[in-house]
Structure 1
């Protein structure tokens, strides 16, 4: 038998980028809105760096936007901020204005 040094091309996987989507992967902060019952919804902020004080950020967000909120520890996503209502644009402006995160590092999801 002859040993040929041929590389077989692997199949293209369009989701290969998302397979290693650990919390804060690639430095993105994800702002999502989740529909609750009726007209109510919840805004979640995921992907902030671990060295930030989540409680202080939450306290400032709650005071600034007159809403309630909570810090949730998730097994997969790590720490996640939850705020009442659709606060995606408000949180985006708050994070950029406070120089916590660059605007290019924020991804907004939802309807």
Structure 2
């Protein structure tokens, strides 16, 4: 690699700021039904594109909720079913968050 490529990588590392935590919760709706709730994805990412991909990939329904009664003013994403591990894997693979910045919560 040339010095120029290293400089570009350092500039990229400085631009990406991982000072946030993404929480992935599982909420039980009824005896057999569950919801996966994602809180804390930064605003710089297009949540509509992300949720559209997840809905196709995980074969589920879901939506973006701007004000949730359980999580306050933070934007939350709700998906049907238990998709916690797949979502955590996606966030790391796509470079949205580091593994240390993702907290997966159980029932």
| TM-score tier after normalising by the smaller chain length | 0.7 to 0.9
Residue in structure 2 matching 1:87, options 72, 83, 86:
83
Aligned partner of 1:53 in structure 2 is 46
- Structure 1 residues not aligned, in runs of 5+: 1-25
1:1-111 aligned at under 5 Å gives the runs 27-74=20-67, 76-111=72-107
TM-score computed with the length of structure 1 as normaliser? 0.73
Deviation at 1:77, TM superposition (A): 3.8
Question: Using the alignment, how far apart are the partners of 1:32 and 1:85 within structure 2?
Answer: 11
- Greater Rg, structure 1 or structure 2? 1
CA contact (8 A) 1:46 1:77 kept: no
